[in-house]
Structure 1
Amino acid sequence: MLKRTPLFPIYAEHGARVIDFGGWELPVQFAGIQKEHDAVRQQAGLFDVSHMGEVNVSGEDALAFIQRITTNDASKLATGQCQYSLMCYPSGGVVDDLLVYKVSDNSYMLVINASNIDKDLAWMQQNLSGQVELANISDETAMLALQGPHAEHILAKVTDAPIQSLKTFRFLPEADVKGIKALISRTGYTGEDGFELYIDQKDAVALWKLLLEAGQEHSLVPAGLGARDTLRFEARLPLYGQELSQDITPLEAGLSYFVKLDKGDFIGREVIAGQKANGTPRKLVGIEMIERGIPRPHYPVYAEGKQIGEITTGTQSPTFKTNVGLALIDSAYSALGSELTVEIRGAQVKANVVATPFYKRKS
Structure 2
Amino acid sequence: MYTPLYDRHVALGARLIPFAGWMMPVQYAGILHEHRLVRSKAGLFDLGHMGQVEVTGPDSLAFLQYVASNDVAKIEPGKAQYALLTNEHGGVVDDIIIYRPNEGEGYFVCVNASNKEKDVAWMQRWAAERGDLDVTVTDISDKTGMIAIQGPDSEQIMTPLVANPIADLDYFAWMPNAINGIPVRLARTGYTGEDGFEIYSDISDVGAIWDAVYAAGQDYGLEAIGLGARDTLRLEARMPLYGNEMDDVTTPLEAGLGWAVKLDKGDFIGRDKLVAQKEAGVPRKTIGFVIEGRSASPRSHFPLRVDGREVGFVTSGAFSPTLETNLGLGLVEADIAGIGKPIDVIIRDRAVPAVQVKTPFYKRGQS
Question: Following superposition of structure 1 onto structure 2, how do residues 107-186 of structure 1 map, counting pairs within 5 Å?
Answer: 107-128=106-127, 129=130, 130-172=133-175, 174-186=176-188
Corresponding residue SS for 1:165: coil
1:270 matched to 2:272 = yes
1:233 is matched with which residue? 235
Q: Is the 8 A contact 1:57 1:132 kept in 2?
A: yes
Corresponding residue SS for 1:263: coil
Superposed CA offset, 1:101-128 (max 9, x none): 1113341001000111111111111111
Q: Is the 8 A contact 1:190 1:228 kept in 2?
A: yes
Q: Distance in 2 between matches of 1:105 and 1:91?
A: 33
Of 17, 24, 27, the match for 2:25: 27
> Which segments of 5 or more consecutive residues in structure 2 lack a partner in the other structure?
none
Deviation at 1:304, TM superposition (A): 2.3
Deviation at 1:236, TM superposition (A): 0.0
Superposed CA offset, 1:247-283 (max 9, x none): 1111111111111111001001111112222221111
1:307 is matched with which residue? 310
Corresponding residue SS for 1:139: helix
Q: Distance in 1 between matches of 2:350 and 2:171?
A: 44
Q: Is the 8 A contact 1:171 1:185 kept in 2?
A: yes
Q: Is the 8 A contact 2:163 2:181 kept in 1?
A: no
Q: Distance in 2 between matches of 1:292 and 1:302?
A: 18
Q: Distance in 2 between matches of 1:238 and 1:154?
A: 28
2:77 is matched with which residue? 79
Of 268, 281, 302, the match for 1:279: 281
> Between the two proteins, what is the percent identity of the paired residues?
47
Deviation at 1:157, TM superposition (A): 1.5
1:297 is matched with which residue? 300
Q: Is the 8 A contact 1:292 1:349 kept in 2?
A: no
Q: Distance in 2 between matches of 1:291 and 1:30?
A: 29
Corresponding residue SS for 1:343: strand
Superposed CA offset, 1:178-211 (max 9, x none): 0211000000000000000001111111111111
1:52 matched to 2:55 = no
Deviation at 1:291, TM superposition (A): 4.2
Superposed CA offset, 1:304-349 (max 9, x none): 2211111011111010111111011111110111111111111111
1:61 is matched with which residue? 59
Q: Distance in 1 between matches of 2:276 and 2:363?
A: 31
Amino acid at match of 1:19: I
Superposed CA offset, 1:70-113 (max 9, x none): 00001011111110000001111100000001113341001000
Deviates more, 1:282-291 or 1:180-189: 282-291
1:37 is matched with which residue? 35
The list of structure 1 runs, each at least 4 consecutive aligned residues, that deviate by more than 6 angstroms after superposition, is none
1:320 is matched with which residue? 323
Superposed CA offset, 1:280-309 (max 9, x none): 111110011124322111101111221111
Q: Distance in 1 between matches of 2:166 and 2:19?
A: 32
Superposed CA offset, 1:214-248 (max 9, x none): 01111111001001000000000000011111111
Corresponding residue SS for 2:115: helix
Q: Is the 8 A contact 1:184 1:196 kept in 2?
A: yes
Corresponding residue SS for 2:224: strand
* TM-score w.r.t. length of structure 1: 0.97
> Which segments of 5 or more consecutive residues in structure 1 lack a partner in the other structure?
none
Q: Distance in 1 between matches of 2:300 and 2:173?
A: 33
Q: Distance in 2 between matches of 1:162 and 1:249?
A: 40
2:214 is matched with which residue? 212
Amino acid at match of 1:211: V
Q: Is the 8 A contact 2:174 2:185 kept in 1?
A: yes
Of 243, 256, 259, the match for 1:257: 259
Amino acid at match of 1:233: L
Q: Distance in 2 between matches of 1:35 and 1:292?
A: 21
1:7 is matched with which residue? 5
Q: Distance in 1 between matches of 2:273 and 2:10?
A: 48
Amino acid at match of 1:351: A
Amino acid at match of 1:69: V
Q: How many residues align?
A: 360
